[in-house]
């Protein structure tokens, strides 16, 4: 046998076969690889050309204006009519004198009914195909001034255009009148003594570099994931689904060689997609299609050296993304399951890449070490020739480090013990998996309906909406979610929800934990305020005024007792009861924290609410009852809501108190700030360490 | 090991396997199985679903590591030298699938190369098998367009491509239609003539009766009895294999029910 027909390395065999399989799937190839590359020209064209075409069409559209200028001075009347006639194409009709005054009367009335009549009158004056009514009235505020009113229809493009042209004529008139006045008074306008002109020092290469630097990281993440996800799903989840995995694992080949071949196939596919897309993007920029807002009209490719440096920075990112992709797809048992993971994964990965799009974020050593965000920022700097060594090095080095860590996990993906060991289970295991997944789906459905339905209800009526969300929407969701779980496991609804008597010491533990938690939350919010200050719109409106006007008791009912009961019933009752059928405890807690953080729909409240969610889940799992979590939640919310209430048992220790004066009572908030409060966490821990007796 | 019988193709001693299950804790799937097959012998592992058949065969095929006990295949210690064991055996199970976008010939070539075969030897062997399984006409069609029977033939050809000494077949006929199942049964039968040892699991009594030189009855992770059909009938005083099976299972349930 000749030397050249020597056996091929196993990873190469696997690699070739994977690629062959992918290349033969023409539809997937086209959709994942080629289509995105073809879309760029259209994307840019769409932004540039279509916008221009729309504008031009609008410019040639004739607008109809009906006017009554009888209240203005004859000089203004004549000049405005001339100026309006110049805003071609335009048709100006004169209305009988007095029509303006009759609409004005309705405007002054300012009632909904008058508004309706005002509308009808305007339409009758101008006709249904007219676009704008212009009239002059004496200004009610400043004497001897004319007020021009423009009645237009904001929902119609042409009517808005009519407004634009009329305003243009009005501003020309105002300019003319001013310069007339100026030349009368000063013999010329002092403001005309200078003019300004701006000159851009950046070369065309700089501009296109800046454009690419901002866009490419985001596009790279998107494209790597879209191009790689199909390959990764086919290589890992597809292998399981088609039943070839077991066969592959009995071949006389180390499983790591198989993983290596598969990983390289996914990496190649991703890179091929990226290269195709980048080329298409570069071509678009070179052809001058990249006329994006803020990008300038950059019609040149950036310097080759910068592109090279940028490429060097992006390679570890590709490695990292593809290894994460393989890890995620490798965990999926089927194609469909894998596809469910792709969207959340893409969102998580896009978030840090979007950082590079923010102009005010500056690359420093800390940011450089954040996966994806670091290299994305480094890439942006490199493309404008602004990258310094240390952050650049850190970005590349940290990404390589993360990739290595992920790749180690990827290496163990085809561990037969894990894959086949868990599959050795029976119908019951499968049932439990279904229950967990359905609970998770209900969890997210709950979050979404609270956003949508609850948000809508509360926008109509804050207190009633909140009550309806808590006492109608959530109980319904609870019932819908737990019904199936209970049915499948043959439990009654209360049992499935965990509504059983708790151990007394767990209730006491929950009470102590709530106090410690409330203290922690105040410290956290104070810290967060420094790092991520609340926008002014939120600070004052933490609670709608309707709530702050309530009596303490009602406030407690609305904001502590009701959420404590209803939210716990849904999240720690129904959802948790399903989740724990299949998932390990830490995963249940993690999902609970994520769901509960998400349902509060505010990045500023995410950390504290996620913490409560996670903690309540731990307590529920530990005590095997829902009541301690309810107590924790009610107490926690209660303490924060009733912070200004005074407590009779706690008094202020004030040195300048006269002996005859009774010491003033402390508010709940002040009690919470006493030094011993955080230490309550310790007895709480001890109490929860004691198990519940059977 | 010095005390290995050179006439044995498979020897399993005290094989155990436990899984960790999050809800049920430790699950013992195989609770100490001893089993041996001679060269050229067809051995049927008979048992209901969940008896531990698949796990036992997977341990022997070096896919899963035993919790304790040992297994030898063609004299090679499975735990010590799994790759060598895989070179000497062919493995096929019901769930075995094919790569949909490869042709029959490409499939065989891929697995042949993974077995270290190459060049003319490999091509000649592929041709030989295509002829033997009457697959010449479909050799260059993608397997996604194949019928179940055709797929089955490709899978069998794949398993015997490297001319293994031992064939391990996990429920090879489950889920197949009559035609495909009979292809499989004929193939197992023909292995006897080629001198290949076949160890296969099944829960179909008639298959075991027709094919097996010896039968092992496995139930709840334990091998209850082992022997030729005649020996098993004599041992239990039953006339047919299903009677044998039921009486052994009843005895096992009874002894499990009485503690101590």
Q: Are residues A211 and A313 in the same domain?
A: yes
User: What 8-state DSSP symbol labels residue A677?
Assistant: G
Mean pLDDT of A519-532: 76
Q: Which residue has the higher pLDDT, A198 or A683?
A: A683
pLDDT in tens, A112-128: 788 888 888 888 888 87
For chain B, the average pLDDT equals: 88
Partners of A65 in the beta sheet?
A92, A132
- For residue A71, the domain's CATH number is 3.40.190
User: What 8-state DSSP symbol labels residue B143?
Assistant: G
Q: Are residues A636 and A533 in the same domain?
A: yes
Q: Are residues A173 and A223 in the same domain?
A: no
Domain boundary among A377, A392, A422: A422
Among A22-31, A136-145, A416-425, B90-99, top mean pLDDT goes to B90-99
The predicted pLDDT at position A653 comes to 65
Mean pLDDT of A561-574: 94
Does A416 touch chain B if contact means CB atoms closer than 8 Å? yes
* Statement: the pTM of the whole predicted model exceeds 0.90: no
From B22, B50, B95, residue closest to A243, measured CB to CB = B95
Q: Compare all CA atoms of chain A with the CA of B97 and give the residue at the minimum distance.
A: A243
Contact by Cβ (8 Å): A499, A661? no
Query: Which site among A247, A414, A425, A585 would you substitute to test the B interface, given the most B Cβ atoms closer than 10 Å to its Cβ?
Result: A247
The predicted pLDDT at position A26 comes to 83
Ranking A93-107, A395-409, A637-651 by mean pLDDT, the lowest is A637-651
The predicted pLDDT at position A3 comes to 42
Residue A466 parent element (H or E): helix A462-468
Spatial neighbors of A571 by CB under 8 A, at least 6 apart, are A443, A446, A592, A595, A596, A599, A613, A616, A617
Partners of B199 in the beta sheet?
B43, B168
What's the rounded Cα separation, in Å, for the pair B89 and B83? 10
Partners of B28 in the beta sheet?
B18
pLDDT-derived band of residue B259, with 50, 70 and 90 as boundaries?
very low
How many other CB atoms sit within 10 Å of the CB of residue A186?
9
Does A417 touch chain B if contact means CB atoms closer than 8 Å? yes
pLDDT-derived band of residue A541, with 50, 70 and 90 as boundaries?
very low
Q: Is the confidence at residue B169, as pLDDT, over 60?
A: yes
Q: Is the confidence at residue A298, as pLDDT, over 50?
A: no
Residue A41 lies in a domain: yes
Full DSSP string of B35-71: EEEETT-EEEEE--TTSSHHHHHHHHTTSS--SEEEE
Residue A489 lies in a domain: yes
Ranking A158-167, A541-550, A624-633 by mean pLDDT, the lowest is A541-550
> Nearest-CA neighbor of A512 among A688, A690, A686, A683?
A683
Whether B96 and A244 lie within 8 Å, measured CB to CB:
yes
Q: Compare all CA atoms of chain A with the CA of B24 and give the residue at the minimum distance.
A: A429
Full DSSP string of A312-366: HHHHHHHHHHHHHHHHHHHH-SSHHHHHHHHHHHHHHHHHHHHHTT-TT----HH
Whether A250 and B29 lie within 8 Å, measured CB to CB:
no
Tell whether omega for the bond before A24 is within 30 degrees of 0, i.e. cis. no
Which residues in chain A have their CB less than 8 angstroms from residue B114's CB? 10, 13, 251-253
Strands (DSSP E) contained in A76-157 are 90-94, 132-138, 146-152
Which residues in chain B have their CB less than 8 angstroms from residue A5's CB? 118-119
User: What 8-state DSSP symbol labels residue A74?
Assistant: H
Q: Is the confidence at residue A535, as pLDDT, over 80?
A: no
CA torsion sign for A438, A443, A444, A445 is positive
Ranking A392-401, A534-543, B137-146, B210-219 by mean pLDDT, the lowest is A534-543
Query: Which site among B90, B97, B119 would you substitute to test the A interface, given the most A Cβ atoms closer than 10 Å to its Cβ?
Result: B97
Please give the angle made by the CA atoms of A405, A586 and A481, to the nearest 5 degrees.
Answer: 125
Side-chain half-sphere of A431: how many Cα atoms within 13 Å? Answer: 11
Contact by Cβ (8 Å): B253, B220? no
Whether A252 and B84 lie within 8 Å, measured CB to CB:
yes
What's the rounded Cα separation, in Å, for the pair A565 and A478? 12
Buried b (16+ CB within 10 A) or exposed e, A614-636: bbbbbbbbbbebbbbbbbbbbbb
> Nearest-CA neighbor of A395 among A419, A424, A364?
A364
The predicted pLDDT at position A628 comes to 95
Whether A5 and B118 lie within 8 Å, measured CB to CB:
yes
Alpha-carbon gap: B242 to the closest alpha carbon of chain A (Å): 24
Full DSSP string of A582-644: TS-HHHHHHHHHHHHHHHTT-TTTHHHHHHHHHHHHHHHHHHTSSHHHHHHHHHHHHHHHTTT
Among A124-133, A436-445, A539-548, top mean pLDDT goes to A436-445
The predicted pLDDT at position A299 comes to 46
Whether A13 and B110 lie within 8 Å, measured CB to CB:
yes
Q: Are residues A124 and A37 in the same domain?
A: no
Alpha-carbon gap: B257 to the closest alpha carbon of chain A (Å): 23
Contact by Cβ (8 Å): A230, A32? yes
The predicted pLDDT at position B91 comes to 94
Can you state the angle between helices A255-286 and A204-232, rounded to 10 degrees?
Answer: 150
The predicted pLDDT at position A194 comes to 66
What's the rounded Cα separation, in Å, for the pair B148 and A358? 56
Mean pLDDT of A311-336: 89
Q: Are residues A312 and A369 in the same domain?
A: yes
Q: Are residues A169 and A246 in the same domain?
A: no
Which residues in chain B have their CB less than 8 angstroms from residue A583's CB? 22
Mean pLDDT of A37-62: 72
What's the rounded Cα separation, in Å, for the pair A456 and A452? 6
Mean pLDDT of A246-257: 89
Alpha-carbon gap: B206 to the closest alpha carbon of chain A (Å): 25
Residue A200 lies in a domain: no
Does A488 touch chain B if contact means CB atoms closer than 8 Å? no
Residue A458 lies in a domain: yes
Ranking A297-301, A356-360, A663-667 by mean pLDDT, the lowest is A297-301
Domain holding A150, by residue range, is 61-182
> Nearest-CA neighbor of A136 among A163, A103, A106?
A103
Mean pLDDT of B215-222: 91
Neighbour-count burial of B42, counting CB atoms closer than 10 A to its CB (0-12 exposed, 13-18 middle, 19+ buried):
buried
Which residues in chain A have their CB less than 8 angstroms from residue B61's CB? 250
Q: How far is CA B31 from each of CA A355, B69, B226, rounded to the nearest angstrom?
A: 56, 10, 16
The predicted pLDDT at position B22 comes to 56
Q: Are residues A495 and A360 in the same domain?
A: no
Q: Compare all CA atoms of chain B with the CA of A580 and give the residue at the minimum distance.
A: B23
> Nearest-CA neighbor of A228 among A359, A128, A319, A127?
A319
Whether B110 and A425 lie within 8 Å, measured CB to CB:
no
pLDDT-derived band of residue A540, with 50, 70 and 90 as boundaries?
very low
Which residues in chain A have their CB less than 8 angstroms from residue B29's CB? 424
Whether B83 and A6 lie within 8 Å, measured CB to CB:
no
The predicted pLDDT at position A355 comes to 73
pLDDT-derived band of residue A538, with 50, 70 and 90 as boundaries?
very low
3-state class of B216 per DSSP? Answer: strand
**β-pair type (B68-73, B76-77):** antiparallel
Q: Which residue has the higher pLDDT, A457 or A490?
A: A457
Q: Are residues A34 and A167 in the same domain?
A: no
Q: Is the confidence at residue A137, as pLDDT, over 50?
A: yes
Does A24 touch chain B if contact means CB atoms closer than 8 Å? yes
The predicted pLDDT at position A139 comes to 83
Q: Compare all CA atoms of chain B with the CA of A248 and give the residue at the minimum distance.
A: B111
The predicted pLDDT at position A534 comes to 61
The predicted pLDDT at position B96 comes to 82
Q: Which residue has the higher pLDDT, B142 or A105?
A: B142
Contact by Cβ (8 Å): B197, B38? yes
- With a CB-CB cutoff of 8 Å, which residues 239-258 of chain A face chain B? 242-244, 246-247, 249-254
What's the rounded Cα separation, in Å, for the pair B102 and B105? 8
From B65, B92, B115, residue closest to A252, measured CB to CB = B115
Q: Report chain B residues touching chain A, CB-CB < 8 A.
A: 19, 21-23, 29, 49-50, 54-55, 58, 61-65, 83-84, 86-87, 89, 91-93, 95-102, 106, 110-111, 113-119, 142, 158
Full DSSP string of A657-672: --TTSPPPEEEHHHHH
Q: Is the confidence at residue B254, as pLDDT, over 50?
A: yes
Which residues in chain B have their CB less than 8 angstroms from residue A253's CB? 83, 114
Which residues in chain A have their CB less than 8 angstroms from residue B49's CB? 426
Q: Are residues A597 and A485 in the same domain?
A: yes
Q: How far is CA A535 from each of CA A526, A601, A607, A609, B95, rounded to the nearest angstrom?
A: 14, 15, 17, 19, 58
Residue A188 lies in a domain: no
pLDDT-derived band of residue A295, with 50, 70 and 90 as boundaries?
very low
> Nearest-CA neighbor of B112 among B90, B134, B94?
B90
From A251, A424, A582, residue closest to B55, measured CB to CB = A424
> Nearest-CA neighbor of B19 among B49, B61, B50?
B50
Query: Which site among B22, B30, B78 would you substitute to test the A interface, given the most A Cβ atoms closer than 10 Å to its Cβ?
Result: B22
Q: Is the confidence at residue A525, as pLDDT, over 60?
A: yes
Residue B216 zone, left/alpha/beta (φ > 0; ψ -120 to 50; rest): beta
Number of domains chain A contains: 3
Q: Order across the sheet with B8-21: list the strands.
A: B25-38, B8-21, B68-73, B76-77
Instruction: Count contacts between A and B (CB, < 8 Å).
Output: 94
Whether A252 and B87 lie within 8 Å, measured CB to CB:
yes
Q: Is the confidence at residue A432, as pLDDT, over 90?
A: no
What's the rounded Cα separation, in Å, for the pair A321 and A371? 10
Query: Which site among B99, B157, B199 would you substitute to test the A interface, given the most A Cβ atoms closer than 10 Å to its Cβ?
Result: B99
Kindly report the length of chain B.
260
Distance from chain centroid for Cα B57: 6
Residue A65 parent element (H or E): strand A63-68
Residue A694 lies in a domain: no
The predicted pLDDT at position A6 comes to 60
Maximum Cα interatomic distance, chain A, rounded to a whole number of Å:
111
Q: Are residues A413 and A543 in the same domain?
A: no
Which residues in chain B have their CB less than 8 angstroms from residue A237's CB? none
Q: Is the confidence at residue A296, as pLDDT, over 50?
A: no
Residue A561 lies in a domain: yes
Mean pLDDT of A497-507: 91
Q: Which residue has the higher pLDDT, A651 or A248?
A: A248
3-state class of A542 per DSSP? Answer: coil
What's the rounded Cα separation, in Å, for the pair B218 and B223? 4
The predicted pLDDT at position A266 comes to 93
Residue A191 lies in a domain: no
Neighbour-count burial of A387, counting CB atoms closer than 10 A to its CB (0-12 exposed, 13-18 middle, 19+ buried):
buried
The predicted pLDDT at position A322 comes to 94
Domain boundary among A388, A422, A456: A422
Does A415 touch chain B if contact means CB atoms closer than 8 Å? no
What's the rounded Cα separation, in Å, for the pair A296 and B155? 61
Contact by Cβ (8 Å): A322, A349? no
Full DSSP string of A177-231: HHHHHHHHHHSS-GGGG--------S-HHHHHHHHHHHHHHHHHHHHHHHHHHHH
Partners of B225 in the beta sheet?
B217
Q: Which residue pairs from A79-86 have beta carbons closer than 8 angstroms and sit at least 24 positions apart in sequence?
A: A79/A173, A79/A176, A80/A169, A80/A170, A80/A173, A83/A169, A83/A170, A83/A172, A83/A173, A84/A165, A84/A166, A84/A169, A86/A169
The predicted pLDDT at position A4 comes to 44
Domain boundary among A126, A148, A182: A182
Kindly report the length of chain A.
694
pLDDT in tens, A463-483: 888 899 999 999 999 999 998
Q: Are residues A41 and A144 in the same domain?
A: no
Q: Are residues A450 and A362 in the same domain?
A: no
Partners of B42 in the beta sheet?
B198
Mean pLDDT of B145-173: 90
Mean pLDDT of A383-400: 88
Whether B19 and A13 lie within 8 Å, measured CB to CB:
no
Whether A252 and B101 lie within 8 Å, measured CB to CB:
no
Among A173-182, A201-210, A421-430, A596-605, top mean pLDDT goes to A173-182
Neighbour-count burial of A656, counting CB atoms closer than 10 A to its CB (0-12 exposed, 13-18 middle, 19+ buried):
exposed
**β-pair type (B8-21, B25-38):** antiparallel
């Amino acid at each position: 046998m000749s030397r050249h027909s020597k056996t091929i390395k196993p990873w190469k065999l696997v690699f070739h076969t994977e690629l062959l399989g992918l290349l033969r799937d023409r539809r997937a190839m086209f959709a994942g690889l080629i289509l995105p590359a073809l879309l760029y020209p259209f994307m840019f064209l769409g932004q540039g050309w279509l916008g221009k075409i729309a504008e031009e069409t609008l410019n040639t559209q004739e607008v109809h204006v009906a006017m009554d200028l009888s209240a203005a001075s004859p000089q203004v009347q004549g000049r405005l009519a001339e100026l309006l006639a110049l805003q071609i194409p335009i048709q100006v009709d004169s209305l009988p004198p007095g029509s303006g005054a009759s609409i004005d009367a309705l405007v002054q009335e300012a009632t909904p009914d008058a508004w309706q009549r005002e509308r009808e009158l305007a339409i009758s004056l101008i006709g249904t195909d007219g676009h704008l009514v212009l009239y002059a009235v004496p200004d009610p505020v400043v004497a001897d001034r004319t007020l021009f009113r423009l009645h237009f229809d904001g929902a119609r493009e042409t009517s808005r255009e009519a407004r634009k042209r009329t305003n243009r004529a009005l501003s020309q008139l105002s300019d003319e009148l001013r310069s007339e006045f100026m030349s009368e008074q000063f013999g010329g306008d002092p403001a005309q003594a200078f003019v300004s002109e701006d000159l851009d020092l950046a070369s065309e290469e700089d501009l296109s570099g800046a454009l690419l630097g901002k866009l490419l990281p985001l596009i790279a993440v998107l494209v790597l994931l879209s191009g790689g996800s199909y390959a990764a799903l086919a290589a890992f989840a597809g292998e399981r689904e088609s039943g070839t995995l077991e066969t592959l694992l009995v071949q006389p080949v180390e499983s790591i060689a198989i993983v290596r071949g598969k990983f390289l196939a996914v990496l190649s596919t991703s890179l091929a997609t990226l290269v195709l897309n980048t080329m298409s993007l570069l071509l678009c920029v070179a052809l001058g299609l990249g006329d994006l807002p803020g990008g300038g009209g950059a019609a040149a490719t950036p310097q080759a050296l910068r592109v090279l440096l940028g490429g060097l920075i992006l390679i570890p990112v590709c490695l990292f993304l593809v290894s994460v992709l393989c890890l995620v797809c490798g965990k999926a048992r089927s194609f469909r399951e894998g596809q469910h993971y792709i969207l959340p994964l893409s969102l998580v990965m896009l978030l840090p890449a979007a950082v590079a799009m923010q102009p005010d974020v500056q690359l420093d050593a800390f940011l450089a070490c954040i996966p994806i965000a670091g290299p994305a920022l480094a890439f942006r700097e490199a493309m404008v020739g602004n990258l310094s060594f240390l952050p650049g090095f850190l970005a590349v080095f940290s990404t390589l480090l993360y990739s290595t860590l992920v790749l180690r996990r990827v290496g163990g993906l085809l561990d037969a013990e894990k894959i086949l060991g868990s599959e050795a289970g029976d119908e019951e295991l499968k049932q439990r998996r279904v229950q967990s997944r359905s609970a998770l789906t209900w969890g997210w459905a709950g979050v979404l309906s609270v956003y949508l339905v609850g948000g809508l209800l509360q926008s109509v009526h804050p207190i009633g909406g909140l009550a309806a969300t808590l006492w109608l929407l959530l109980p319904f969701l609870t019932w819908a979610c737990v019904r199936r779980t209970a049915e499948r496991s043959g439990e009654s609804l209360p049992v499935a929800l965990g509504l059983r008597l708790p151990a007394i010491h767990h209730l006491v533990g929950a009470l102590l934990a709530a106090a410690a938690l409330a203290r922690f939350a105040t410290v956290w919010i104070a810290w967060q305020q420094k790092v991520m200050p609340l926008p002014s719109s939120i600070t004052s409106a933490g609670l709608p005024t309707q709530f702050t006007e309530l009596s303490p008791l009602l406030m407690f009912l609305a904001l502590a007792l009701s959420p404590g009961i209803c939210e716990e019933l849904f999240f720690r009752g129904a959802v948790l009861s399903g989740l724990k059928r299949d998932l390990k405890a830490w995963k249940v807690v993690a999902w609970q924290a994520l769901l509960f953080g998400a349902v509060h729909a505010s990045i500023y409240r995410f950390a504290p609410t996620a913490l409560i969610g996670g903690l309540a889940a731990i307590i529920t799992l530990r005590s095997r009852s829902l009541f301690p979590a309810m107590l924790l939640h009610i107490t926690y919310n209660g303490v924060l809501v009733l912070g200004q209430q005074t407590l009779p048992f706690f008094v202020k220790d004030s040195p300048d108190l006269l002996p005859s004066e009774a010491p003033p009572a402390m508010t709940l908030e002040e009690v919470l700030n006493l030094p011993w409060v955080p230490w309550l966490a310790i007895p709480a821990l001890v109490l929860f360490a004691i198990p519940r007796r059977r | 090991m010095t005390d290995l019988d050179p006439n044995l193709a498979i020897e399993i001693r005290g094989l155990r396997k436990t899984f960790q299950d999050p809800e049920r804790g430790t699950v013992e799937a195989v609770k100490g199985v001893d089993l041996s097959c001679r060269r050229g012998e067809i051995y049927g592992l008979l048992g209901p679903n969940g008896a531990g058949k698949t796990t036992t065969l997977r341990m022997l095929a070096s896919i899963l590591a035993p919790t304790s006990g040992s297994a030898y295949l063609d004299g090679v210690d499975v735990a010590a030298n799994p790759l060598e064991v895989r070179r000497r055996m062919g493995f096929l199970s019901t769930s075995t699938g094919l790569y949909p976008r490869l042709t029959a010939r490409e499939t065989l070539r891929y697995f042949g190369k993974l077995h270290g075969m190459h060049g003319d030897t490999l091509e000649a062997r592929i041709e030989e098998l295509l002829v033997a399984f009457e697959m010449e006409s479909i050799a260059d069609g993608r397997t996604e367009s194949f019928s179940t029977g055709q797929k089955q033939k490709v899978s069998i050809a794949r398993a015997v491509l490297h001319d293994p000494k031992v064939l391990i077949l996990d429920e090879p006929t489950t889920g197949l239609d009559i035609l495909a199942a009979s292809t499989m049964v004929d193939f197992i039968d023909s292995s006897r003539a080629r001198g290949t040892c076949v160890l296969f699991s099944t829960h179909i009594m008639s298959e075991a009766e027709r094919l097996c030189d010896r039968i092992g009855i496995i139930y709840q992770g334990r091998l209850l009895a082992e022997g030729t059909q005649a020996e098993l009938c004599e041992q239990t005083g039953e006339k047919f294999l299903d009677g044998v099976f039921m009486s052994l299972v009843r005895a096992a349930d009874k002894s499990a029910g009485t503690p101590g």
